[in-house]
Copies of this chain bind each other. A is one copy, B any other.
Amino acid sequence: MADVAERAGVSVSTVSRTLRGLSTVSDEARERVEAAARELSFVISRQASSLVTGKTGTVAVLAPTLGSWFVGQVLRGLSEVLRDAGLDLMVYSAADLAERAAFFDRLPARRNADALLVVSFDLTEAEFARLDGLGVPVVYVSQHAPGRASVYVEDVAAARAGTRYLRGLGHRRIAFVRASPDTGFTCSSRTRLFGYREALAEAQLPYDDELVVATSRGRRNTAEAVGRLLCLADPPTAVFAETDEIAMEVLWVLRSSGIDVPGRISVLGFDDHDHAEWLDLTTIAQPAVDVGRAAGTLAHTLIDDPATDPARHVVLPTCLIPRGTTGPALFQEPDAGEA
């Protein structure tokens, strides 16, 4: 910076002021500084700035994995608004319990970010407490964290609506396929499962443990899960999957084993993944990119304006998109074959 100052014939103070866009710099000095900075391709060191300002200019995000569609979309929205706000985006992932424990133990974001976004984690009270003591705003994304800043869709209501929709098509045996809990990606499992149960109760249908199965990424796991459903004494006529990615895998397993969808089994997803339309998958759409945008905006607000309500909530809408993988339930006498 001293080099730039010398080249521009001003003091380092003026260089600093210019580069930060403060107004009290004459046009002439500003131009000379900018020219000098360009010639020397000088960029301010965030490290040094943050040392004195206490701001890092960085937002950290913790996600269960970086490969999933949902996280990708959230990151897209996030990076968009953060770039506009001049903030950098740092990502952490915790794909299993060990990594998750390591993150919360070390809390690497501690002094290295101005805010932390936690995406889709079903946190324990201890973990919440740990983050409460972090010293920077934490925004909970895709989950409702009572008393804390969060951005989410009404998972419970949406799942209730989805289940009602299936019920309305005449289905009485509705299975729920959730992501395996060991992924840490269990927040939406819990809420959506809850909505599913609510809708069952509402329709006076019994909740049957056997109809709720878990799967993790990979054909084998999903085939196993679907297999468990198919060999029940009273198998489901509809499957509600926690995410479209799971739904698509279920769809594939069903069809590749010759089961007609929606003729024999209806499949309902959640997300409105880009590919859902191609597969004609009925699903509950959620605006994933907007979730990212809203989370970024909220984080930015919390950083810049400490007077902001630290428990601000942003709720985004969902909507069911009926497509071709759901249809009326077969009329079927209990204990009688189909047809």
- Most chain B beta-carbon neighbours within 10 Å: one of A47, A51, A56, A248: A47
> Which residues of A, 284-318, contact B by the 8 Å Cβ criterion?
289
Contact (Cβ within 8 A) A72 B68 = yes
Which residues of chain B are near A69, meaning CB under 8 Å?
72
Option from B45, B99, B251, B279 in Cβ contact (under 8 Å) with A111: B45
> Which residues of A, 32-77, contact B by the 8 Å Cβ criterion?
41, 43-48, 50-51, 56, 58, 65-69, 71-73, 75-76
Determine the distance from Cα of A217 to Cα of B31 in the docked complex, in whole angstroms. Answer: 41
Contact (Cβ within 8 A) A111 B43 = yes
Option from B90, B108, B275, B289 in Cβ contact (under 8 Å) with A43: B108
Determine the distance from Cα of A249 to Cα of B275 in the docked complex, in whole angstroms. Answer: 8
Cβ-based interface call for A17 (8 A): no
Option from B88, B251, B289 in Cβ contact (under 8 Å) with A108: B88
Contact (Cβ within 8 A) A43 B91 = no
Known: A106-B43, A107-B43, A275-B275. A66 touches B79 (CB 8 A): yes
Copies of the chain in the assembly: 2
Known: A83-B99, A91-B79. A51 touches B47 (CB 8 A): yes
- Measured between C-beta atoms, what is the minimum distance from A290 to chain B in Å? 13
Determine the distance from Cα of A279 to Cα of B289 in the docked complex, in whole angstroms. Answer: 25
Contact (Cβ within 8 A) B112 A46 = yes
Cβ-based interface call for A214 (8 A): no
Contact (Cβ within 8 A) A41 B110 = yes
- Measured between C-beta atoms, what is the minimum distance from A336 to chain B in Å? 32
Known: A72-B67, A275-B248. A88 touches B88 (CB 8 A): no
Cβ-based interface call for A133 (8 A): yes
CB-CB nearest in chain B for A58: B90
Which residues of chain B are near A88, meaning CB under 8 Å?
90, 92, 108, 112
Contact (Cβ within 8 A) B248 A278 = yes
Which residues of chain B are near A99, meaning CB under 8 Å?
83
Cβ-based interface call for A182 (8 A): no
Query: With contacts A44-B111, A79-B91 known, what are 18 further pairs, Cβ within 8 A?
Result: A41-B110, A43-B106, A43-B107, A43-B108, A45-B51, A47-B50, A47-B111, A51-B51, A66-B75, A67-B289, A69-B72, A72-B72, A76-B93, A83-B99, A88-B90, A88-B112, A89-B91, A252-B278
In the A-B complex, the 6 residue pairs with the closest CB atoms? A252-B278, A43-B110, A66-B75, A67-B76, A47-B50, A47-B47
Chain A residues with a Cβ under 8 A of chain B: 41, 43-48, 50-51, 56, 58, 65-69, 71-73, 75-76, 79, 83, 88-93, 99, 106-108, 110-112, 133, 217, 219, 245, 248-249, 251-252, 274-275, 277-279, 289
